[in-house]
Amino acid sequence: MSKKLNDQELVRLDKLNRLIESKQNPYEVTKVANTHNTKSLKEKYDQFSKEQLAEMQLDKPITVSGRVILIRRTFILIQDFHSELQLYINKNKQPDLFKYFNDYLDLGDVVCATGKPMKTNTNELSLDLESLKIISKSLRVPPEKFHGIADEEIRSRKRYLDLVYNKESKERFVYRSKIIAAMRQYFNENGFLEVETPFLHAQIGGAAAKPFVTRYNALDRDYYLRIAPELPLKKLIVGSFEKIYEIGKCFRNEGMDSTHNPEFTSVETYVAYVDYIYMMELTEAIIKYIAKAIGISHTNIKNETIDWNKPFKRIKMTELVKQETGIDFTQVKKIDQALDLAKKHKVHVKEHEKTIGHIINLFFEEFCEKKLVEPTFVTHHPVEISPLSKLDYSDPRYTERFELFAFGKELANGFSELNDPIDQRQRFEKQLEEKQKGNDEASEMDEDFLEALENGLPPTGGLGIGVDRLVMMLTGTTSIRDILFFPHVREE
């Protein structure tokens, strides 16, 4: 090893070298014939008494493997994916094994243990060792088991240690896998087809966000990591698919905080011949199905509790703003009036936001969003902030759009999809005007998508759910880092 080692690491390296010299190289082990894991061992033998286990005759010894997380005088505690198991060495009956234990074993080593089940005087199921073999040597000193890793930066940077020594962390990631599996199961059981669309996009589109840019050498042009799969998925609806979904990564070259990571997982789904009301019902059904599947009915974050079984609330954005501020923006007809209200309430308005619709949204973000603890569908967003949403033709200042909020954060976004290619072109043109005024998150003109719309997109409902945030909310987690295996961190 070329790096400088501390005293403890030198001792561990010396043990490894002595193992190799004695023809016991742990890295030569290629497979292990385990008969049980810690869970199956306990399920089979914990039901027996100490006396019954002592008299029990086995057809063959039990073999189980795991990582050493605690060493006592004659006991070793190992851990595998499922749980923990105590190993017992009788130094009088097994002097060679006891010597091996003293000479070579360290915390963090991965071992293969063979023996017979027994119970201690405290009635703890253990394995009475007949043999013990180190099958991977830990050359690093692990964190102390019972304090774990408290530093969030270290936990994120060295997730492999966090998973070993923080039980709660591992449980969260198991929940994450189960949540995604349940989501996929819901879609598949209800006739949806899972599809895949490109990660590399020739144009920015599908959401308001800054993209990551990369160079496509074969085509000699810049491409963008997708910020959303929306436009390709809607092309598939044009192509006669009727119920589709995609679970995958999206990328937005923006800041990091407790609820944002530049690389994140989302699910988007599109259904032909339905509207935004159907998609709200679908959103609620999916989340409740997942919560039930993983056995979570309530979540508590910072003394706020959600009962996922209760019906989700619904309210128009303008009604919510009126509740919180007393301002009825449906009666605001002129931009000067809206700007005066913004100035009076100290709401900062950027140059590209000088429309009534943008100002309504700014008021919502400033005065309403953080108060939406219980799951709430906020509906009828202004057309200026909804370039891909169908108009509410009863009042075309607004759209047939919704966002779902919980714990004061956006969780989902959906709408009746805009399928009028003439209106869509005009919306893209408005986005280009915003870009010229400084909105670097505005969409670009996408002629290929417009051509697809010109071939006829049926009435369609669309939905996007932030998977990472859903995991956070269902598990009561306050930082997105804690539900991503390897979140991006700054260089040390």
Contacts of 128 (CB under 8 A, 6+ apart): 88, 90, 115, 116, 117, 118
Q: Where are the beta strands (DSSP E) in 157-303?
A: 193-194, 200-201, 213-216, 221-225, 243-251, 263-272, 298-301
Angle between helices 230-238 and 447-454 (to 10 degrees): 30
The residue type of 244 is I
Q: Are strands 460-466 and 409-416 parallel, antiparallel or unpaired?
A: antiparallel
Sheet holding 200-201, edge to edge: 200-201, 221-225, 213-216
Rounded CA-CA distance 69/166 in Å is: 12
Contact between residue 411 and residue 385 where contact means Cβ atoms under 8 Å apart? no
Rounded CA-CA distance 370/412 in Å is: 15
| Residue 475 host element (H or E) | helix 467-475
Rounded CA-CA distance 281/276 in Å is: 9
Return the SS3 of 126: strand
Nearest by Cα to 373 from 343, 347, 399, 404: 404
| Token pair listed for 330 | 């449906």
Contacts of 195 (CB under 8 A, 6+ apart): 233, 236, 241, 244, 245, 246
Rounded CA-CA distance 329/352 in Å is: 19
- Residue 410 is assigned to a ligand binding site: yes
Phi, psi for 27 (deg, rounded to 5): -80, -5
Nearest by Cα to 368 from 318, 314, 328, 303: 318
| Residue 434 host element (H or E) | helix 421-436
- Residue 403 is assigned to a ligand binding site: yes
Beta bridge partners of 299: 306
Rounded CA-CA distance 81/118 in Å is: 22
Q: How far is CA 276 from the centre of its chain?
A: 25
Please give the annotated binding residues for Mg(2+), written as ranges.
403, 410
Please give the annotated binding residues, written as ranges.
403, 410
